[in-house]
Amino acid sequence: MGKSNKVEKFRKKQYQLYLRSSIWKSKRREALAFHGSKCRKCEITEHLQVNHLHYKNIFNENIKEDLEILCRKCHHEYHGYNFKFTGESKKSFRKRKNRTKRKSSGVAMTMEEYYKRRGKSSTNFPQYGKYK
């Protein structure tokens, strides 16, 4: 493992710990109070998440300039997840997200696509949540 991979893994670990900290939870509450308790894009009031607009000031965010409120669906779209979300739990999303294989070109594909390429039936593929 190269040095840059180790540094990247360390940064991701630090970021995950930060998101679980009381400091982040406090900033999240302040952001919800400042921006309002609804999604900036679709104005839904459920499954709200705080999104970093950029990571320049990570660990020292300005609530007005660096953060926004999005619902889970809009947050996933913002980060480019390529599925249509219709309401699944975080646990089932993580299971589905982790069920990816790499194509020979290095592009990720879902397990369902993997089985289709291999000519196997995907009817036994476990479904987590509702996908279109």
> Which DSSP category does 127 fall into?
P
Report CA 29 to chain centroid distance, whole Å. Answer: 19
Cβ atoms of 69 and 48 closer than 8 Å = yes
pLDDT above 70 coverage of the chain, percent = 59
> What average pLDDT is seen over the chain?
76
Give the pLDDT score at 38: 92
In the predicted structure, residue 3 carries a pLDDT above the cut 80: no
Structure confidence by residue, pLDDT tens digits, 122-131: 454 444 444 4
Class of domain 3-78: alpha beta
Mean pLDDT of 79-83: 71
| Domain residue limits, the chain | 3-78, 87-132
**Predicted confidence (pLDDT) at residue 34 exceeds the cutoff of 80:** yes
Is the pLDDT assigned to residue 70 strictly greater than 90? yes
What pLDDT is recorded for position 12? 86
For the whole prediction, is pTM greater than 0.85? no
Q: Are 67 and 110 a contacting pair, CB within 8 Å?
A: no
Amino acid at 25: K
